[in-house]
């Protein structure tokens, strides 16, 4: 009888652990999706429109669709500055 209780108790702990793992995977997926949305929704500080990828003269940048400006990544800026020298 004691052995049967031990096996039942272990089975209940296994089910509980599986449910916790399932919840954690679902929560992780939700958080990752929120992070992706934030990264993809970079906004123009002036008009709040979503910035779009653009390329001008071989330079990759994020550009406001309403022509309020363009933003470069650090590596792109460094590359442009090194060309200038």
Q: How many domains does the chain have?
A: 2
**In whole angstroms, what is the distance from residue 61 CA to residue 52 CA?**
8
Rounded to two decimals, the pTM is 0.48
pLDDT higher than 90, residue 16: yes
pLDDT for residue 79: 85
pLDDT digit string, tens, across residues 33-73: 888 777 667 888 899 888 888 888 888 888 999 999 998 88
Give the max Cα distance, the chain: 83
Say which residue, 4 or 30, is predicted with more confidence: 30
- The domain of 76 spans 42-85
- Same structural domain for residues 46 and 78? yes
pLDDT for residue 1: 61
- Same structural domain for residues 49 and 74? yes
- Chain-centroid distance of CA 45 in Å reads 20
- Same structural domain for residues 34 and 58? no
- Same structural domain for residues 24 and 51? no
């Amino acid at each position: 009888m004691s052995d049967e209780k031990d096996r039942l108790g272990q089975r209940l702990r296994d089910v509980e652990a599986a449910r916790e793992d399932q919840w954690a995977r679902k929560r992780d997926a939700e958080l990752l999706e929120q992070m992706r949305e934030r990264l993809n929704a970079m906004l123009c500080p002036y008009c709040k429109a979503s910035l779009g990828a653009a390329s001008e003269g071989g330079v990759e940048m994020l550009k406001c669709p309403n022509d309020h400006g363009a933003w470069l990544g650090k590596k792109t800026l460094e590359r442009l500055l090194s060309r200038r020298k």
